[in-house]
Amino acid sequence: MRRVGVRTGLAVLALAAVASGCAPGTKDPGAAGATGTRPAPGGESPHGQAGAKQTHAAKMRAEYAARAAAARRWGLKKVPLTPPAPPATKPAITTREGFEVEDHEELGLPPVFTTVPTKDKVVFLTIDDGAEKDPAFLRMMSDLKIPYTAFLSDYLVKEDYGYFKKMQDRGVALNNHTLHHPYLPDLSHSRQRREICGMQDVIEKRYGKRPELFRPPFGNYDRDTLRAAKSCGVKYVPLWSEEVFADHWDYREWDRDLHPGDIVLTHFRGHADWKGTMPDMIRRFLNLVTEKGYAVARLEDYL
């Protein structure tokens, strides 16, 4: 159960609890060993260009067929959409209105946001804490090639650091969710700093890199939280617009809908906490976002 509170004055509290026909392998006629073909003066053979296009098209069809087979295997209603290429120019990330703390901009504190500004019809999947370590979830996400971002707490992750190393080896970014998952606004600046910097140290020691993303437990923070996070090397504080469970969705916005660039929250949980498993949750997540025409993109590619 998430704990939600509101602090006034110097402390600003983010609202919590809301919470992707050509024949294969045609040989290039202009390649070495082919006969009757000469390259165009000063350039590549037009047959070579056509062959390259055919090869690319065949590769794309093969990739789609593999993804379609994986979608059937995991019980999805439709094949997940492929996200566009990451933007060459990253969007400017700023703090959402109403989520600021005192002197937020003046102190250069990390931006707190729930949506990434983009016209791409994409959403971002983020998963918190680390309680459930389901091998079926790893297989499912690898088979479907769905990107996601993890925010980890050491008191749960330390039960099996190797599980999350497998995740990292599959290209998943491992980020900071504190050592012990406390309600941070109740703590002094120094204790908050121990929680945040301590988790930075754990991730660097175990996984080789200090994260630049931090999510406060329950989505709750104050000025000291962001000051501490900045001092520990954090550059972004992504919260969320929607939260998905094994059996339902929660929404932050009044329209209860997805929007381009929305960050979706879920947790590493299973039957002990949910009416279902992590693969059940991913089915619910992908069925809805695909039905609404969204692809799942990698959050770090937009930051």
pLDDT tens digits along 202-256: 999 999 999 999 999 999 999 999 999 999 999 999 999 999 999 999 999 999 9
How much is the pLDDT for 11?
Answer: 39
Tokens of 290: 């695909």
Q: Does the structure show a pLDDT above 70 at 111?
A: yes
pLDDT above 60 for 36: no
Q: Please work out, in degrees rounded to the nearest 5, the angle formed at the alpha carbon of residue 224 by the alpha carbons of 118 and 148.
A: 35
Q: In this structure, how many other beta carbons lie within 10 angstroms of the beta carbon of residue 126?
A: 23
pLDDT at 44: 53
| Averaged pLDDT, 104-109 | 98
pLDDT in tens, 112-160: 999 999 999 999 999 999 999 999 999 999 999 999 999 999 999 999 9
Closest by Cα among 303, 302, 301, 295 to 121: 295
Overall pTM > 0.85: no
Q: Is the pLDDT of residue 174 over 50?
A: yes
Measured in degrees and rounded to the nearest 5, phi and psi for residue 145 equal: 60, 50
Rounded CA separation 243/218 (Å): 12
With both helix axes pointing from N to C terminus, report the angle between 46-73 and 135-144 in degrees, rounded to the nearest 10. 150
- pLDDT higher than threshold 70 for residue 47: no
pLDDT per residue over 72-99, tens digit each? 999 999 999 999 999 999 999 999 999 9
Residue 143 Cα distances to 65, 112, 138, 241, 291, angstroms = 12, 32, 9, 27, 20
DSSP bridge pairs for 123:
296
Quote the tokens at residue 284.
């619910």
